Amino acid sequence: MNIKQEFINPNKYTRPQIRLQRISAIATHYAGDPGATAQNIRDYFNGTCVRQKRYASCHYAIGLQGEIIQLIPENEWSYCTNQANKYSISIETCHPDSTGKFTQASEKSLIELEALLCKRYGLNPLRGGVIRHYDVTGKHCPLYYVTHPDAWTAFKTAVSRCMAGQPYALPSYGTTVSAAAAINPDYCDTGKLTLCPGMEYQFKTGSLIKCANSSFEQTAHRVGADGYHYTSFKAKALTAGVGFYINGKRVCVAVVEKPWTDTPQQFTKKVGEAYQFKSNAPIVSGNKAIFVPVGNPVRQGKYYLTKFKAVGCGSAGFYIGSTRTNVGTVV
């Protein structure tokens, strides 16, 4: 959530600078002007509205892309919610058409902003902390949440969940949003790691993760729809232990070991025979027409057990990471 502060000039019509004595509700509005942007709303209250000598304004405007502009400091009155002006912070949200339905981006920003304000002022969205203009005067504002009372109920739940750092559903869409606050920035799904050269590993973390030296090379990085970082590293060089860091804190120690198997470098089997490797990392067959894996590798202590069946005549290499550890011949 990004809030741009662009205060309107003090004047008696839209920014009277009356001190707000208490804040006991966040008032929810729709712009009532299909297609208007947050900047349009801000500029209107700073210009045309003053010239027309109309008493109107709001503290925050949320745009169609979810952008947020703050027009008035939170300790001053806005003229937005009639008799509730003296105890509320007001938010106007833009909408693309006359149904008043907010875009997903706008609705998400609205939930996040109300959650932030409820936290800041100790308000409970499920107990009157968030209100509609409609609840104060009966005006059909915000229109969609008046014509869809279920969406309004869901909205209050979403604000409450967002405050608690839990994933929430967008009330007008049902889409689930993972609350950014739910992500612990220091989270790492891996504490200890053992690989062999050439093997890749993907971390899931709350923030960007880095390796302390070049024994691992980063091969991919993306931020998922869930807000977590997914970063892949490839083991490059043998090491007895190297740290991985998030925000300067060591979260994982990784060892890169020489590949090892319990099997002679060369071995021979007959078609139809099965063979099981014990190795220090998962081993794969280089030619599945000769040795085909049976099931997945099974972890046993610090070793892996992997079964193969000889299915065709010829020779096939076995690999751990980028290292060929064995050659099996089938006769």
Assess contact for 232 and 201: CB atoms under 8 A: yes
Q: Between 29 and 156, name the residue whose CB sits nearer to Zn ion.
A: 29
Strand partners of residue 239: 256
Instruction: Give me 32's structure tokens.
Output: 């009532």
Query: Pattern of binders to Zn ion over 87-126, x per CB under 5 A?
Result: ----------------------------------------
Stretch in the footprint of Zn ion (CB under 5 A) among 7-15, 113-121, 135-143, 145-153: 135-143
Query: Pattern of binders to Zn ion over 191-220, x per CB under 5 A?
Result: ------------------------------
Report the alpha-carbon angle 48-51-52, nearest 5: 85
Stretch in the footprint of Zn ion (CB under 5 A) among 21-29, 65-73, 103-111, 282-290: 21-29
CB of 81 to Zn ion, least distance (A): 7
Assess contact for 204 and 210: CB atoms under 8 A: no
- Distance, CA of 84 to CA of 63 (rounded, Å): 23
Stretch in the footprint of Zn ion (CB under 5 A) among 27-35, 249-257, 303-311, 312-320: 27-35
In terms of Cα–Cα distance, which of 272, 250, 275 is closest to 263? 275
Q: Is 29 in the site for Zn ion (CB under 5 A)?
A: yes
CB of 83 to Zn ion, least distance (A): 13
Q: Between 156 and 229, name the residue whose CB sits nearer to Zn ion.
A: 156
CB of 133 to Zn ion, least distance (A): 3
User: What Cα–Cα distance (Å) separates residue 228 from each residue in 108, 205, 218, 231?
Assistant: 18, 6, 17, 10
Non-local CB neighbours of 171 within 8 Å, separated by 6+ positions: 107, 145, 151, 152, 154, 155, 158
- Distance, CA of 196 to CA of 185 (rounded, Å): 29
Binding-site residue total for Zn ion (CB under 5 A)? 3
Q: Is 146 in the site for Zn ion (CB under 5 A)?
A: no
- The residue whose two tokens read 């000039």 is 9
Q: How far is CA 23 from the centre of its chain?
A: 30
CB of 3 to Zn ion, least distance (A): 20
- The residue whose two tokens read 């096939």 is 316
Non-local CB neighbours of 160 within 8 Å, separated by 6+ positions: 115, 124, 125, 126
Q: Between 137 and 247, name the residue whose CB sits nearer to Zn ion.
A: 137
Q: Between 29 and 59, name the residue whose CB sits nearer to Zn ion.
A: 29
Amino acid at 153: T
Q: Is 229 in the site for Zn ion (CB under 5 A)?
A: no
Q: Between 34 and 312, name the residue whose CB sits nearer to Zn ion.
A: 34
Stretch in the footprint of Zn ion (CB under 5 A) among 139-147, 224-232, 263-271, 305-313: 139-147
Exactly one of 8, 115, 117, 141 binds Zn ion (CB under 5 A); which one? 141
Q: Between 59 and 133, name the residue whose CB sits nearer to Zn ion.
A: 133
To the nearest 10 degrees (0 to 180), the angle between helices 149-163 and 104-121 is 60
In terms of Cα–Cα distance, which of 287, 310, 283, 285 is closest to 299? 283
CB of 29 to Zn ion, least distance (A): 3
CB of 21 to Zn ion, least distance (A): 22
CB of 225 to Zn ion, least distance (A): 33
Exactly one of 95, 108, 133, 156 binds Zn ion (CB under 5 A); which one? 133
End-to-end Cα, the chain, rounded Å? 65
| Interaction site with Zn ion (CB under 5 A) | 29, 133, 141
